[in-house]
Amino acid sequence: KGLLENKVCIITGGAGPRGIGKAAARLFHEHGAIVVIADLDLDKSREAAADVSSERTMGVVCDVTDKASCEAAAKAVADQYGHIDVLINNAGITQPLKTMEITPENYEQVTDVSLRGMLYMSQAVLPYMVEQKGGAIVNTSSVSAQRGGGIFGGPHYSAAKAGMLGLSKAMAREFGAHNIRVNSVTPGLIQTDITGGKLTDEMKTQILTGIPLNRLGDADDVARGFLFLASELSSYTTGAALDINGGMHM
C-alpha cells in the first residue's frame, strides 16, 4: 500500500463502469493517489470518480482527440492540485472490421482516440511534469499490435495500438533526461465492456486453448500493470512494453 501516496494521477477513459481505467482508479486510490478520471462526459467522469471515493478524486471532461480539451483538462487538474505526476492513456475504441471494410471515417475514429489522443494528452501534461522534474506516463496498447489482430479489433485498431508503442518509445527517449518515464502495457483479452457480452461459450473455449494461463484477463490484471509502471516499483524502466496477456503472445 502507499505506492502512489499523494501522486496526482490522470486516467483517460476511466468512466466505463467495468473498464480497465475504473479498476486502475480504484487500485491507485487504495495506494494513496489523488485520482482524476478524464472521460468524454463530465457527469459520467464525476460519477465514476465519486464511485471510487468521495475524497481525493476528481472527474473532468476530456475528449482526447481534441487538443484544446486535453489542455483544459490538464489545466483544471493542475489548478486544483498544483502538480500532475502520472498520466494513464487508457481511452480507446475498437471496431470489428476487416481491411476492405474500413472507411476513412472508421480509420480516423479508431486511430484518433488511441494514437492522436495519446499524443495530445501527453503534450498537455508534459509541461507540468518537466517543470516538476518528474512523472510517469503509461500507454494502453494491445496484444493486437503485436499479433496483427486480436479477437475484436480491426486492422486499424492494430495499427493504432502499434503506433502507440512507437510513440511511447520516442517519448521515453526524449523525456528520460527530465526524469519522466514512458511505458506501455499490451493487454490480451480482458473482460470489459469492449469485449463483454460478445463472447459465446464456443468462442471462449476456442480462445482459451491459446492462453497458457487458461483464463481471460480481468481489468484488475491490467490495473496492477499500470500500478507497477506508474510507481517507483519500475524506477529504472522506460520505453518498455509490459505484456499482460496470460501468455497468449510470447
CB of 68 to ligand NAD, least distance (A): 13
Q: Which is closer to ligand NAD, CB of 110 or CB of 172?
A: 110
Shortest approach of ligand NAD to residue 133 CB, angstroms? 28
Are 4 and 230 spatial neighbours (Cβ–Cβ below 8 Å)? Answer: yes
CB closer to ligand NAD, 40 vs 97: 40
The dihedral region occupied by 143, where left means phi > 0, alpha psi between -120 and 50, and beta the remainder, is: alpha
| Closest to ligand NAD by CB, 107 or 132 | 107
Cell of 217: 484477463
Give the amino acid at 118.
Answer: M
* Nearer CB in complex with ligand NAD: 75/178: 75
Residue with cell 502538480: 83
Task: Please state the closest distance from residue 136 (CB atom) to ligand NAD, in A.
Answer: 17
DSSP code at position 56: S
- End-to-end distance of the chain based on CA atoms, in angstroms? 30
- In 10 A of CB 220, how many CB atoms? 14
The catalytic position among 81, 120, 157, 236 is 157
- Residue 107 annotated as catalytic: no
Q: Compute the least distance from the CB of residue 54 to ligand NAD, in Å.
A: 21
Nearest CA-CA partner of 30 in 48, 11, 10, 57: 57
Cα separation, 4 vs 145, in Å, equals 29
Q: Residue for cell digits 499524443?
A: 119
Taking CB atoms, the residue at the shortest distance from ligand NAD is 92
Q: What angle do CA 179, 133, 140 make, to 5 degrees?
A: 55
The torsion defined by the Cα of 243, 23, 139 and 97, in degrees rounded to 10, comes to 80
Instruction: Report in angstroms how near the CB of residue 166 gets to ligand NAD at its nearest.
Output: 16
User: Which lies closer to ligand NAD via its Cβ, residue 123 or residue 132?
Assistant: 123
Write out the residues near ligand NAD by the rule CB under 6 A.
12-13, 15-16, 19-21, 39-40, 62-65, 90-94, 113-114, 117, 140, 142, 187, 189-190, 192-195
Catalytic residues: 157
